[in-house]
Homo-oligomer: A and B are copies of this chain.
Amino acid sequence: MFKLSRAGEYALRGVVYIASKKGGDIVHVRKIAESQNVPEYFLTKVFSRLTRNGIIHSIRGNKGGFRLSRPPKKISVYDILTAVEGPLNFNDCFICKNSRKCKLKPVWDESMKKMLEVLKKHKIADVV
């Protein structure tokens, strides 16, 4: 049930990899894919989601690549996962769509909230 998707995993590893490079260094997807032993084309997809969501910045054209769009201490694990997976919306996880007095949903929501708090608290700078 609570499994991290490949996309999420690759995104985290990719961002950590970029963060481990010097400040404004531009990194190619191929380089990352090779170093992390991850399928290149798939990683491209994942990175474009990170780009669209403002986590990383892409430079197109020859000599292009990616760099972080803000310092690692300002990017949380949560930011990356939501960028890749869409909002970790616990309203989707409704238990009793039928009854609005369902008491299970608050439990589920609370558990999600606790989890996300942890993911928000930890920044990429902490895990490089």
B107 touches A2 (CB 8 A): no
Interface flag for A63 (CB, 8 Å): no
CB-CB < 8 A to A111: which residues of B?
A: 114-116, 118-119
Is A75 in contact with chain B by the CB < 8 A criterion? no
Is A122 in the interface zone, CB < 8 Å from B?
Answer: yes
A20 to chain B minimum Cβ distance, whole angstroms, is 11
Known: A1-B5, A1-B8, A2-B90. A118 touches B110 (CB 8 A): yes
Complex Cα spacing A95 to B16, Å = 12
Nearest B residue to A3 via CB reads B93
A88 and B2: CB pair below 8 A?
yes
A96: contacting residue among B13, B88, B108, B128, CB under 8 A: B13
